[in-house]
Structure 1
Amino acid sequence: MPTVLLFSRQPLTTRPLQEWLDDTENSIVLVTTPKAVADAQSVLDRHFPRHRLVADYHSWATEQAAEEAAREHGVDLVASTSESDVLRAARLRARLGVPGQSTASATAYRDKLVMKRLAREAGIGVPAFTAVEGPMDLLDFIDAEGFPVVVKPRTGAAAEGVAILREAADVTAFLERGRASDVPHVPGQWMAESFVHGEFFHVDGIMRDGQIVHCWPSEYTGGLAERVFDHVHLGSVLLEADDDRTDVLRGFAADVVEALPPAPAPLAFHLEVWLTADGEPVLCEIASRAGGALIAETYERAFGVHLAKEGLRAQCGSALVPVPQPQVPAAIAGWVLLPPGHGDFVPPAEPCPVPGVELTVKLAAGTRRQGVEHATDAAAEALIVAGTAEEVRKRMGEVTRWWHNNVAWR
């Protein structure tokens, strides 16, 4: 069994790596944080004795510590669990000379500007876009394309830092926030693109060597950036096999994966795409990792494949679950994230009564919140299973109404 350097800031209490991976005691060198292993010290000691704790996970020092650990233990592979680690893992592979997703492939799946350039060159539909190296680039783009314009970090995730500019005042507000922005307003960090009007979807699955192994589309119930701005719920529903959009979106995913530099081993992917009024797909972005929120759990209910788990196992040299792509989902499933409000949280007094709904409350009673902080931020999350997409949407509405009628923020 190969020795694997694994980047992970996911809490061991919610992402049980010791259950997902084989022989972690002898095969995994875990680079993680004290916060991620809080309340899991016995798991860490037993299953991950060769671990490195880093104080500031996103600092450059973490990559130095990871390389030192990798060389000390003679690792054969490098793996990661989060989008923010995709590129650093690829760069470490290059330094160590070990196989896996290359820096060129990781860059294409992380840098949205590179991604869209490659997609456009392959004839794939993309919005008008440009690099924003300074304020004049943004102003030039607005002059050429008009409002609204979306400005986003090139390597952001979960709508981090995204701004929708609809008028001149929005431009001024974006430019003025530069010093306070989590993503610095410096060259190489930002891009702008035209706003796309259309239905919003995601396609999730497994890819290998530039080809789709397994995938299925879902329709979002709203936009990710809009959720942060408007503090509303977010969810999605799997499409049914006889939905005309299903084959269109699966074919589009295959085209995008083929257009980007391939990774030799299987990887999970998460693609976001609009369908315009005339039915044409337009690329939002694609990531070489499993989708967040309850996407992996929903996919598992439908197809028996947990994308986050299988994507990680493949990076660690383990075989994929031998589940071929079925023609139809075993069940139609969906999920919804119920947003935090403003004040101290008072949870529901009774369990959720809506059938087919598994509700998980994420906050302790009395937790003080001030609205949605990022796209997947939730006070509670609900996994919904039914026989049809229409029934999933109906139950999604029922659980959302029940939640708002039975919680308080004081």
Structure 2
Amino acid sequence: MRYLVLNRTPLTSGLRFPDWIGADDEAVLLTDTAAVSTDPRERTAQLAGYAHVEFFDDFHFNPLVESQALAMHRKWGFDRVLALSEFDILRAARLREIFGVPGQDVASATAFRDKLDMKRILSEAGVPLARYAPVSNLADLLGFVEGNGYPVVVKPRRGGGSMDVHVLRDEQDIDSLLAAHRDLGTDDGAQLIAEQYIEHELLHVDGIVLDGEIKLIWASTQGDSTCLDIKQGNALHSCLMDPDDPLLAPAQELTRRALAALPTPDTSMFHAEVFLTEDGRMVFNEVASRMGGGMIEDVLKLGFGVFLPEVYVRNLSGHEPLDVPAAPLRIAGLSLFPPRPGTLVRIPGECPVPGITEYRTYAEPGAELEPAKLSVEKIGSVLATGGSRAEVETALSDALTWFERNTVIQGRGGPDSAS
């Protein structure tokens, strides 16, 4: 069989499509140029095993990706299309339908990518949601604010990574939104959705469906951090829940209800978000049919001993399925340290905090930093493991304190400041 692989993320040593597919089949790669190393040795290792590779600049907005895929299909014929990124789910589905090959179709991909379509389906199924409405123009937005009051969350219907998410608390915030979205004043309108803002603790539920059966479904908590906080320069952390956590089963059940209501593919990874309200209720936010980002895949690998993208691709390739534990072998967590505006003066090279299994840096002294635009942007990160959530969260907290004490960012027009 011949597999078309669409890729936009760095081809690290752990992302090995040819190995997962197997030597008896072919993998053809269409990749973002920036996803491949410029170092000749690393580049050779990253591209080893592919039958053919094509590179594309500006991969996200480049329609030549699909055009080239179609031309190659006419020449060689593809049997499957693989894509792991949130922003390639619909692109891959369109190609499958053109090629006439199995896999997630456009209707399913749209239900998971378009937050308005998703919430309509979930609402009809009785899944508890925050109040919501489409926003195409200013009148739509003002009507929603009048009916629900402030604060209101406005975001793209097909966004990701907390990109372009706005929390409106007053008329000044509405003016800021209008400045950012001039499409609100056009006849075609904006592709936005407004939602009631809910004070919450964010739980995310991650897992995988294999041959129509949920093999892994486990919840993590972000505690007192949120995806929006990192855009304000505050660290984001997440930790797997303990097996005896009373919130685990309700979060799993709510996610099962959502997956049952949606056109979930027979084989699919998923990443769901659940709001735990201040009065203890659970309100479903959204779910994607892909692996969670922001190093969630690393946490699951540490906790469960398997790399879900590998499990997913191997299953689609018809290989002997990997054993996926139903509960974590150990508790694991992550913390992301975001940039702040200014010049990076100092960043530590090694982390001595007990319980930290891996520390990574993503910037070097002298770098000019800007505020994070995505919830996964970072200049440093840590992974931690332990026997319980409390133990892991202590290690993450200690690592944050250590990082802030040892990282210096010189603010623009001001004194040096710790990150």
Which range, TM-score by smaller chain?
A: over 0.9
Which amino acid letter does the alignment assign opposite residue 11 of structure 1? Answer: P
1:324-343 deviation line (CA, Å, top 9, x unaligned): 413xx211111000112332
Q: Distance in 1 between matches of 2:119 and 2:277?
A: 18
Change (3 A) 1:185 1:324: farther
2:324 corresponds to 1:323: yes
Look up the equivalent residue of 2:396 and give its one-letter code.
M
Query: What's the offset of the Cα at 1:351?
Result: 2.2
Q: 2:208 is aligned with what amino acid? A: I
Task: Give secondary structure in 2 for the equivalent of 1:308.
Answer: helix
Contact in 1 for aligned 2:162/2:374 (Cα 8 Å): yes
Aligned to 1:391: 391
CA contact (8 A) 1:209 1:262 kept: no
Post-superposition Cα deviations, 1:40-80, rounded to whole Å, max 9, x if no partner, equal: 43235532241221223122222111222233221100110
Partner of 1:244: 246
- The verdict on how the C-alpha distance between 1:318 and 1:146 changes in structure 2, with shifts beyond 3 A counting, is farther
CA distance in 2, matches of 1:190, 1:139: 13
Give me the whole-angstrom Cα distance separating, in 2, the residues matched to 1:121 and 1:400: 42
* Aligned match of 1:154: 157
Cα drift, residue 10 of structure 1: 1.4
Distance 1:13-1:324 versus aligned 2 partners, 3 A rule: closer
* Match status 1:215 vs 2:217: yes
Aligned to 2:354: 355
Q: How does 1:218-297 map to 2 (within 5 A)?
A: 218-221=220-223, 222-228=225-231, 230-264=232-266, 266-297=267-298
Corresponding position: 1:70 with 2:69: no
Name the counterpart of 1:168. Answer: 171
Deviation at 1:15, TM superposition (A): 4.8
Consecutive unaligned residues of structure 1, counting only runs of 5 or more, are: none
Structure 1 contact 24–48 (Cα < 8 Å) conserved? no
2:329 and 2:12 map into 1 onto residues whose CA distance is: 29
| In 2: Cα distance, 1:209 partner to 1:134 partner | 42
How far, CA to CA, are the matches of 2:117 and 2:182 in structure 1?
A: 25
Q: What is aligned with 2:21?
A: 22
Partners in 1 of 2:207 and 2:33 — Cα distance? 31
* Separation of aligned partners in 1, 2:211 and 2:192: 29
Quick one: structure 1 residues 120 and 210, their matched pair in 2 at CA, closer, same or farther if it must change by over 3 Å?
A: farther
Letter in 2 for 1:407: T
Change (3 A) 1:211 1:185: farther
Asked whether the equivalents of residues 290 and 296 of structure 1 are also in contact (C-alpha less than 8 Å), the reply is yes
- Between 1:142-151 and 1:23-32, the stretch displaced more is 23-32
Mapped partners of 1:318, 1:368: distance in 2: 46
DSSP 3-state at the match of 1:21: helix
Counterpart AA for 1:213: K
Partner SS state of residue 336, structure 1? strand
364-373 or 110-119, which moves further after superposition? 364-373
- 3-state DSSP of counterpart to 2:35: coil
Superimposed CA distance per residue, residues 65-111 of structure 1 (whole angstroms, 9 cap, x where no aligned partner): 12222332211001102000001101111111100111111111111
| Post-superposition offset of 1:3 | 0.9
Q: Deviations over 1:96-129 (max 9, x none)?
A: 1100111111111111101111011110011111
Change in CA separation of 1:210 and 1:366 when aligned onto 2, cut-off 3 Å: same
Check whether the contact 2:133–2:195 (CA below 8 A) recurs between aligned residues: yes
Q: Partner letter of residue 227 of structure 2?
A: L
Q: Deviations along 1:349-408, whole A, 9 cap, x unmatched? A: 562111110211122332221222311001111001111111111111110010010111
> Hey, what's the Cα distance between the residues in 2 that align with 1:208 and 1:116?
24
2:129 maps to which of 126, 129, 136:
126
Instruction: Return the alpha-carbon distance in structure 1 between the equivalents of residues 257 and 5 of structure 2.
Output: 30
Letter in 1 for 2:28: V
Distance across 2 between alignment mates of 1:333 and 1:122: 33
Query: Structure 2 vs 1, CA of residues 351 and 215 (structure 1 numbering), >3 Å: closer, same or farther?
Result: same
**1:14-58, Cα deviation, whole Å (9 max, x unpaired):** 653257523479511111122112334323553224122122312
* Contact 1:178/1:185 (<8 A) preserved: no
TM superposition shift of 1:282: 1.1
| Structure 1: distance between partners of 2:8 and 2:355 | 32
Give the number of equivalent residue pairs.
Answer: 403
State the alpha-carbon separation in 2 of the partners of residues 389 and 290 from structure 1.
Answer: 22
Q: Using the alignment, how far apart are the partners of 1:3 and 1:212 within structure 2?
A: 27
**TM-score normalised by L of structure 2:** 0.90
Unpaired segments of 5 or more residues in structure 2? 411-419
What amino acid maps onto 1:91 in structure 2?
R
Query: Percent same amino acid at aligned positions?
Result: 34
Partner of 2:57: 55
How far is the alpha carbon of 1:185 from its aligned partner?
9.9
Q: Are the counterparts in 1 of residues 28 and 53 from structure 2 also a CA contact under 8 Å?
A: yes
Show CA shifts across 1:156-192 (max 9, x none): 00001100001111011101222499xx995362111
Corresponding residue SS for 1:147: coil
Give the SS at the match of 1:35.
helix
Give, as a single letter, the amino acid of the residue that structure 1 aligns with 2:270. F
Q: TM-score, normalised by structure 1?
A: 0.92
What residue number does 1:379 align with?
A: 379
Counterpart residue type for residue 152 of structure 1: K
When residues 120 and 45 of structure 1 are mapped into structure 2, their CA distance, relative to the original with a 3 A threshold, is closer
Partner Cα distance (1:259, 1:158) in 2: 24
Q: Residues 186 and 385 of structure 1: is their aligned pair in 2 closer, same or farther, counting only changes over 3 Å?
A: farther
Taking the aligned partners of 1:316 and 1:85, their CA distance within structure 2 comes to 19
Matches of 1:208 and 1:144 in 2, distance apart? 42
Contact 1:78 1:315 in 2 (8 A): no
Q: Is the 8 A contact 2:202 2:226 kept in 1?
A: yes
Separation (CA, whole Å) in 2 of partners of 1:188 and 1:96: 31
Q: What residue is the counterpart of 1:98 in the other structure? A: 101
